[in-house]
Structures are given as structure tokens and as C-alpha cells.
A and B are shown apart, each in its own frame.
Chain A
Amino acid sequence: MRLHLGRRLRVLPALADHVLPSTRSIDVIAFLPDRLLQTLRVVAAGRHEVTTVATMSELDAALRQGRADCAVVDPQGPGRPGAERLGPLLARYPGVHVVVYTTLTADSMHDVAALGVRDVVLFNCDDRPTYFRDLLETAPAASLTDDVLARVEGALTTVRPELRRALAELFRAPETIRSVDAFRRVAGMSRMTLGRALTKAGLTSPSGLLRSARVVRVYFLVRRGGLRLKIIAPRLGYSSPRKLADECKALTGLTPMLLSRTVDPDEFSALIARKLLRHPL
């Protein structure tokens, strides 16, 4: 009987997550032609805030306010600024995640390649509302992971480009890289070479990186999305919510619930960055 009570007490923080509100609304700035804007409105309808801007100066002003989580832009949108004019403007606001939403034409493809953004949605091709919505809702997570990676930039500059790409991929999509084996394949290295490369760069072990990447995603989903652990756990490859909570506690000293409530994103990024380094400064 005592044992039963103890177990209930241990799992309580994790189970209490469901009391948090559902997915938080995302503030989106849209710089799009009318046809694409209509689709974005359908995607965001009733869930997210869309602020429409019609000129480059309006876009600049909206970004300067600093409230936006994400900017959805078409380089061939109003006034056809192209990558040449849009690129420098967006570069001034690195905290805002940029999604390019455009049509499949030579000019727009040229702009996409020139902007080099990570997330691109093609009109009438992959702008299915559920997919697009997923993309918008994970945009703030991209900012968080970028912040974490920026804090270990010194170590990342010493590793080979393919390992750097694999690390970025791991933190941006920990759902897709679920094992050390998958990670070393993305990095294009054998397990031993990967271990040596990380040690040389002063980074933690591959399994340590995997754990950190997953906890970053857990923190984001619990804090911003308010998702329950039983939904998050299978997505991230945990066999149970308890495993997830245990790993989070082992890494940060706090359960996901407490972590999301008591630690702000800046502090959290610094904490994870320290865990990523083998010999923290």
C-alpha cells in the first residue's frame, strides 16, 4: 500500500501537466500576395494571430515591435522586393523565425536559394493546413534551439560542417533522430569518429547531445504548447511519460512541469549549453 502511494506521488508532477492550457497562439506577420494570404488565414483561423503588412516599411515596423514569433514572407510578394531587398531587412531581426511561403516559379526559387532560410512552403504543393500549422507552431522552438546552439558556437566552429549540420538537425528535429546510430549517420561518420570529433570540440557524448535535444523540445512543448507528457513522450521516442520526466530531471534537476514554470527561456538555454560542453567555461 505504501509502495502504491509512493508511486503516485512520484508521477504526480508529470500527470499534472494536463491542467495547463492548450497550444498557445503564435503571433505571425504576413508579407504575402492576396492569394497566399487567404491560405494562411485558413491555416491560422481561430488559433493564431496574423498581422498583415503590405509594404517593406510596414514589415520593418512590425518586426521592430518585437512581438512576432514568426514572419511568413513571399519575396515575390507586394512590390516584389526579391531576396536582395528582403534578405538584409530580415537579417536585422534574428530573433524572428522566417518561413518563406511562395509559388513555384524561377524568380521565387532564386530568392529562396538566396535567402537560405530553413523553412519553405510552396503554394498549392505543400501548404496543406495541418502541415503549415505544425510549421508555424514549432517556429518559436526554432528560436529557442538557435539560442542554445548560439551559446556553444565556439565549440561548433571547430567541428566539421556535416557534424555541425547534424547537430542543428538534432536540436531542430529531435523527433527524427532518435538514436546515436541515427545521429552518426546524419553526421556521416562512424560511431568512433563521431565520439572523437565531439571530444575534440569539447562537446558532450552523442547520447548526452540526444538527451539535451529532447529535453529542449520537452521544455518548449510544455511551456509554450502546454501539451501533456503522454502526448509528447511517444513523439520524442520515450517509452513512457515517466521515462521522459526522469530524463528531464536527471539533466536539469527539475521535472518538466517545474522546469517550464520556474525557469525562463534564457536561463534554460544557458543551463542546456553548460550541459552540452564537456568542460564548461
Chain B
Amino acid sequence: MLDLGRMEQRVFYCQGPEAHVWSDPDDAGKCCNGYERAVEIQRDAQGNAQLAYYWRPLHSPVVGIAGGVTPLASRSMPMESPGCAFGDEPRSGEEGLSPLRHIAYFEALGASETGTPEWEATSAGLVVLRLVDRWVWRHVRERAPTFREFVTVRRAIARVGPGAMRAALGELASAVAVFSSARAAPVNDCLMAYAQVLQDGAQWSLAADVYDTVLMNARSASDARALPVCAVRAGLCLRMMGKLRDADRVYRFGLDVASEIGDRHSAMLARVGLAAVAAQRGELPEAESVLDQVIVDAVGPELKAVRAAALHDRGGVAIVRQEYERAVLLLYEAFTLYQDVANRDRALNDLATALGSLGLRGAAHDAYFVIHSTSHQRDLRWWAGLNLMRLAVLEHNESDFEQYRLRLRRESLTGTHAAHYALFVGEGHARFGRPDRARRAFSRAAELALEFGLPSVAAGAIAARGSSEVAATPAVARVVTAIRALAGVES
């Protein structure tokens, strides 16, 4: 009896369905009761990173360590999916506008090493964009680009490795060359194609810069028709960069122009984008109402992609609400409706996250495996690889863990990816009995989390949580069967 009395003094249960255990009654009172656990990284007197936990009211935007908004999908989710529509990790707060055009390129080049394939591709992109700028001015300055300038650009493009990037840059330069003295040219179309390649490569800031160039250069009526599409794509890139205010602004611009020219498809996509921004800010009820309305309105084969996008983002909101079963069904419907591979991959990635969160690790593994093996979007492949590595840790599968760890180590992971990599590697080393290496990896994860403003990564530094497989409901079981079939065919 005495022991029990002492236990009751030290341990408290929250009022939620899972009755979480707390040592502090205040914590137990707030857990599952309108608050959520959050973490900040602080420095002690010696400059060492330390995690500080606190409670914040549910559904409010959270200012992270660098002033960004905490990505919603990362909250209390066993598996991270920052590459998805709800998963981007913000960098520092909204930045001011620089007078220097294409500053994203200068920053990217300044941060990379001269002579690497990435350097060659980015520098060629900058050279081509500056050529386009001069081409836009040709009638004002009464000087079209010269042969020498084209030669310089061609040489820069020739140094880019073969592939979609080189092809897109080559076509852009050719458009400028062929139409150098013409009044109109398909340069904006080529810029859009180039931006899409950058977007596929997860080079969000560069893609946003190119979309901005398209918006700046649009002068003719035919250009105006492409503006809403451009705005919607730019909005996605800005969301991925965590620049929610800019994303909101560009979506509203796209909505305005689409309404003006009667482009219903783009107008609805812009509304979906605005809802996604609202969701990322934590305004879930507003996001839900807009997305539900779009799902209702988007009827007919011509609006299939819009309906898929709305379902996709609605699934993202369901994940944030921890309504995983609902999320699985919404995301699977989005997955089946999407016609383009890129969006199908993103929906599948989010679906895997929802399945994993539901405890169906086998199905989640299959979906991630399909993305990791087949997706042409680099950031998605990375996220899938990271999540597979995490699953291997949770499943105590050391050989798989080592395989994905080594494979990812060879990639040039960017800030957010690198932070998650360090975190998951730390968890793996801890799980497989290598405490020193785990400590180093966690320390690295904390450093990167501090640098890139990723409180969720810091929160994930807690030891990996594991739970056994759960039984799926019949509706979810059908999705699981479909995913397993997909993996069987495509893997």
C-alpha cells in the first residue's frame, strides 16, 4: 500500500484515450487537453545545445527557434514526411526583398563548391537567366544579345551533366537565340519548363526565382494566361521554403488573375494553395472548410486534378489532427485521381506517412520503397530513404538500416534532409548499441536543427518509439492491399 501511495504521488495519467504517463501533474493536466508538447533548442553558458520542452495551445502557429512556423505534419508523428504538401520545414522568417535579381542563384553558388555538378548546373542557370534579362530589355536598349554572349552561355550549358536540366537550359537559350530580334518568343514557356526541372530536383529557392522571373517578364495577353499556373507553382515552392507570407501573396495573385481571365481550374488550385498555407499556419478549421468546399465544387473530369489536390491537402490536415484512418482514405483517393507521376508520388509519400502513423509499418514500408525506387523527384526519394531507414530502426533491422544509411550518406543532402538524416542515424546507432556514435549524431542533428529552425527534429531526438503492428479496419485494409500490390509490381 505504501509503495502504491508513493507511485501515485510520482505518476500521473492524462485524460486522453491513451492515458499518457507524466511525472508532473501540470503536464498530465495539459496533455491531450487542448495543449500540445513543443520543444525549443536553447544554448547553455558553454554554448551546448539543450532541448527545452513546454506546452502550447493546440492549433496555434508556433514560432520555432528561427522564427519560422512549425510544420504541422511533424507534430507527434512517428514518421516525418517533410517533403509532402504539409511537411516542409521552414527556414528563418520571411526575408526582405533584395534589389539584386536572381539572388537565390548567387546564394546557392556562394554556398556550393566550384566545379561540382551542382555548381555547373546552377552557374549555367544564372548565366542563362541573365541572358534572358538582357533579351527582355533588347528593345529598350536597342541591343540584342550578341553571338559572343550566346557562345558563353552555350559553353556554360555544355558543362552541365546530360539530363533534363541541360535540356531545359539548352531549349531556353535556343529560344532566346532564335527569337533574339523578335517581339514575342516562347521564352516564358521555356522558363516554366526549366523551373519545373528545378522543382523536381527540390531546388525550391531557384525554382521560385525562375517563376518570379516569369511573373516579371509577363507582358502579353498569352503570358497572362500562364500567370495563374505560374503563381500556383511558385506558391508551392515558397511553401516548401517556409515563406508562408510570400506563398499566400502569390496564391492570392494567382486567384485574382485566374478570376479575371475566367480560369476556374487555376482559381480552385490557388484556393487549395491558400488552404494549405492556412493549414501550415495552424489555422486548421479554415483550411478544412476551404478544402471541403473545393472537394464539393471540383466535379467533372476537367477538374480531376483540382479534386485530387484538395483531397491530398485535406488528408494532410487529417494527419495533423491525428485522424490517420481518415487520412489514409483521403490520400488514397487523391493518389488514384492524380494523373501526373510527380503528384502521385507525393500523395503516396503522405499515404505512407499516414499508414505508418496508424501503426501499419509493413504497408508504409512498401509505399516508401516504391517512391525510393522509382520517383524522379529527388527530395521525395530522400524522404522515402530517410523514412525507410527510420522504419528499419523501429523494426530492429540493422542490415537495412546500414544499407540506407550508407546510401544516403553518398547524397548531397540539404539542410532539412541532413538534419533528419543525423537524427535518424542517431536513433539507429542508439538502438543498435553504439552510444558514442549516437551521441555524435544527435549532437549534429541538434546543431542542424538550430541552424535551420527545425524544432520537430529536436523533438525527434527523443529515443525512437516503437509499437507492434496493429490490425487495420476493412476500409484501410483495402488500401493496404492496393499498396502492397503496387510495391509488388513496381519494386
Contact = CB atoms under 8 A, between A and B. Distances in A.
B141 interface: yes
Contact of B149 (A113, A128, A189): A128
A125 B157 CA distance: 13
Interface stretch (B62-70, B105-113, B424-432): B105-113
A110 B111 contact: yes
Nearest to A193: B256
B249 A106 contact: no
A161 B96 contact: yes
Interface residues of A, number: 39
In the complex, which of the residues B100, B111, B114, B156 has the most CB atoms of chain A within 10 Å of its own CB atom? B100
B3 interface: no
Contacts of A105: 114
B47 interface: no
A104 B123 contact: yes
A113 B127 contact: no
Interface string A114-150: 1011101010111010110010000000000000000
A161 B112 CA distance: 29
B18 interface: no
A164 B99 CA distance: 11
Interface string A256-277: 0000000000000000000000
Contacts of B111: 106, 110
Contacts of A189: 253, 256
A182 interface: yes
Contacts of A104: 109, 123, 126-127
B30 to A, nearest CB: 38
Nearest to A174: B140
B106 A109 contact: yes
Contacts, number: 99
A176 B137 contact: yes
Contacts of B136: 176
A161 B215 CA distance: 16
- Would you call the interface of chain B mostly helix, strand, loop, or mixed? helix
B45 interface: no
B250 interface: yes
Interface string B75-116: 000000000000000000000111110010111011111100
Given A109-B106, A189-B256, A235 B140 contact: yes
B256 A126 contact: no
Given A164-B97, A193-B256, A109 B110 contact: yes
Nearest to B106: A113
A178 to B, nearest CB: 9
B110 A185 contact: no
A165 interface: yes
Contact of A118 (B100, B215, B218): B100
A117 B100 contact: yes
A189 B130 CA distance: 25
B378 interface: no
Contact of A112 (B100, B148, B257): B100
A173 B97 CA distance: 17
Contacts of A239: none
Contacts of A164: 97
Interface in A6-34: none
B416 to A, nearest CB: 20
Contacts of B470: none
26 contacts: A104-B126, A106-B109, A106-B112, A109-B105, A109-B106, A109-B109, A110-B106, A113-B107, A114-B110, A116-B99, A116-B103, A117-B99, A118-B100, A120-B106, A124-B152, A125-B130, A128-B149, A134-B143, A161-B96, A161-B97, A175-B137, A175-B140, A182-B219, A185-B218, A185-B227, A235-B142
Q: What 6 pairs between A and B have smallest CB-CB spacing? A: A110-B110, A109-B109, A118-B99, A175-B140, A113-B106, A190-B256
